[in-house]
Chains A and B, each alone.
Chain A
């Protein structure tokens, strides 16, 4: 079975500051990892994904994440956030056949001016 834990339910940060949103996963098999973003009153959209290869993956809007197999983590980072990054961020895990995607409980990023 697979599961995802997002350690922070809310992260307040000032504009132009760096941010890290934490995600840990558990799985007995190889996994694929994803970060999605949800803006108010919208569906989720993909920020970035790790399928294989380089453990540092870059996504849209300046976000990046690092896959750490030994620590079973996939933390999301951005060096300088903008007001427009205020949203809820979800980490997700899937197995190789993509039959199921399990999402974490979400982290609300609140960027303050």
Chain B
């Protein structure tokens, strides 16, 4: 158990809909990273938040947005869903900068299926 919790574990929805994925990082970790894992694209970096502020963006679509709340949990919002958005979405956390040794702690993922 990595200590990172993601909900829901599975989600089935229709094209055009909007979903929210939630991530609770390990206790004390200030950084949250979101990744999308699909069969054809591998593990794609989406976005990184540190203590509530956006630190870095990757290949995140404009239809997707994220935020990190004061209690450090994070949400990834996916809207106007398309079939190609079907994937496993991972959240990972890491400690504060001065003690960070680069290790990411991954949750078990949220599997999104768009029909």
Q: Name A residues whose Cβ lies closer than 8 Å to a Cβ of B.
A: 32, 34, 36, 41-46, 49, 51, 90, 94, 97-106
B101 near A43: Cβ-Cβ < 8 Å: no
Distance between Cα atoms of A105 and B39 in the complex (Å) = 9
The answer to whether A99 and B56 touch across the interface, beta carbons within 8 angstroms, is yes
Residue count of chain B within 8 Å CB distance of chain A: 25
Could you tell me if B42 and A104 are in contact, using CB atoms closer than 8 angstroms?
yes
The number of inter-chain residue pairs (CB within 8 angstroms) is 57
Task: Judge whether B107 and A98 touch: CB under 8 Å.
Answer: no
Q: Which of B69-88 contact A (CB under 8 A)?
A: none
Cβ contact within 8 Å between A103 and B56 = no
A98 touches B94 (CB 8 A): yes
7 interchain residue pairs of minimum CB distance: A43-B106, A99-B56, A105-B42, A103-B43, A44-B106, A100-B56, A43-B108
> Across the interface, which residues of B come within 8 angstroms of A103, CB to CB?
35, 42-43, 45
> How long is the Cα–Cα vector from A98 to B31 in the complex, in angstroms?
10
Give A68 Cβ to nearest chain B Cβ, in Å: 19
Assembly CA distance A99 to B43 (angstroms): 16
Q: How long is the Cα–Cα vector from A34 to B33 in the complex, in angstroms?
A: 16
Given contacts A36-B104, A98-B94, A100-B48, list 6 more A-B pairs with CB under 8 A. Answer: A44-B104, A44-B106, A94-B102, A98-B100, A101-B104, A103-B42
